[in-house]
Amino acid sequence: MLQQSLGRLIEQVAKDRGMDKKVIVEALEVAFLMAAKKKYGLTKEIEAHFNEEIDDIELFQFKTVVDKIQDEEMEIVLKEAKKLDPEATVGDSIGVKMDAKKFGRIDAQTVKQVITQKVLEAEKDLVYKEYFHRKGEIISGIVRRYERGNIMVDLGKTEAIIPPREQIPGENFRSGDRVQAYILDVQDATTRGAQVVLSRATPLYLIKLFELEVPEVSEGIVIIKGAAREPGFRSKISVYSKDSDVDAVGACVGVKGTRVQNVVQELRGEKIDIVPWSDNDMQFVVNSLAPAEISKVIIDDVNHSMEVIVPDDQLSLAIGKRGQNVRLAMQLAGWKIDIITESKILERTQRAKKSLTAIPKVTETLAMGLYQNGYDTFEDVAKAQVKDLIQVPGIGDEEKAKALKGEAQVLIDQGLTTDKLVNPKRAEGQESIAPKPEETKSEESKPEETKPEETKKEEQQKDATEKN
């Protein structure tokens, strides 16, 4: 039924498919077993084995050894069993070789279908295992086509996909173009085979490119601590050197910027900021906002945020085009960052000072102490807990804290607000806005004017003269 040199055929198929010889042998054994069960019935206990000596698949039906046969299909007499195995005894299960030549054309077709199916399954499993262990690597392939926005990439043994979210905006490829990407995930799709997902937009791709381009990174001397990207526009990476003699930023930039330029070229001109990493969160945020100059940083540990104060002329640089610089800095540092100008801080400080000094006996020094502890207005002081106010330098004891809180509440009870103190005209203007009463009334509704007595007498005399 099969060619004489089955062993050579197995070796050739294994070589062509790039898989282990055992996989092909197992596929053949399963195929023959299924064909045998299909022909002889599922109730029979049958096994298939590849015999390298005779270069063929052997089928064995296992029968129970008995003294007297009641079922010829399932039992074998002890005398016949001893011919196959001299040590056989009653109750043993012994394999009886079946004649594979009895398989007809239909059975051979079943074998062929099963072998094809098993080999394909083995190939899918092989591809999955190969690429699964390559997750996190950079790979190159040939662009074949676009499918619903996905870029289909031929990797040779399988086809990979670059979903729209993993593509660099504005980047276009034509069929036949070579593309390089990061192996983001390998999904084990049972029906369609392994699905290799590639990415050109992930920050991990940026890190991997620097690992390939910078020997100090691949050798572990320079560590890339993190990366943040807005693919196609701008990115930031933070670097740290284990060796004090090696400048981490300089190593990544390279002589005349050659190393970083190679990465920029691969990312189609994406601007890359390389910032020194620091275990001091405040310093790291300052580094992350480069090239902007920073005047001061106020840390709020409770809300895990920082207020970064910059000179007025540095505001646009700190925020960046469409807010890119500050967004990337937040991603890189892991802190919420608010950018505020020096003039805005000065305005805020003056407002707080004016509001807090409205409380009797609060000096400018105490007002600044309250402000630095988070109390911006006398309304804040009125709402504060006594135990918290005690912590403010210049207050110190519970009695003074209660008195301060009470005096602030008095201002509120009097109808005073910080807005009225700071912007009295604006506050007055808002209060004066109200619906205007009707300015004109009909003539009938106007009251009759009261005339003085002298006028009445003059009119009476004039009337008498006219009558005469």
| pLDDT for res 343 | 93
Q: Helices 258-266 and 203-213 sit at what angle, rounded to 10 degrees? A: 140
Residue at 153 is within a domain? yes
Q: At 406, which amino acid appears? A: G
**Residue 256 to residue 13: CA distance in whole angstroms:** 53
Asked if residue 34 and residue 118 are part of one domain, the reply reads yes
Count how many domains the chain has: 3
Q: Is the pTM of this model over 0.75?
A: no
Q: Quick: pLDDT tens for 67-96.
A: 888 777 777 888 777 777 788 788 888 777
pLDDT digit string (tens) for 133-169? 889 999 999 999 999 999 999 998 788 999 999 999 9
Q: Do strands 234-241 and 271-276 pair parallel, antiparallel, or not at all (unpaired)?
A: parallel
Boundary residue ending a domain (77, 109, 127)? 127
Q: How far is CA 410 from the centre of its chain?
A: 51
The CATH number of the domain holding residue 169 is: 2.40.50.140
- Check which CATH number belongs to the domain holding 51 and give it: 3.30.1480.10
pLDDT at 6: 67
Give the span between the Cα atoms of 205 and 270, in whole angstroms. 13
Q: Is the pLDDT of residue 212 over 70?
A: yes
Do residues 85 and 169 share a domain? no
Does residue 345 lie in a domain region? no
Three-class SS state of 97: strand
Q: Does the residue 460 lie in any domain?
A: no
What residues make up the domain containing 53?
6-127
CA distance 271 to 264: 7
The reply to whether 164 and 113 lie within a common domain is: no
pLDDT at 357 over 80: yes
Co-location of 160 and 89 in the same domain: no
Crossing angle (nearest 10°) for helices 6-17 and 21-40 = 120
Contact criterion met (CB below 8 Å) for 338 and 326:
no
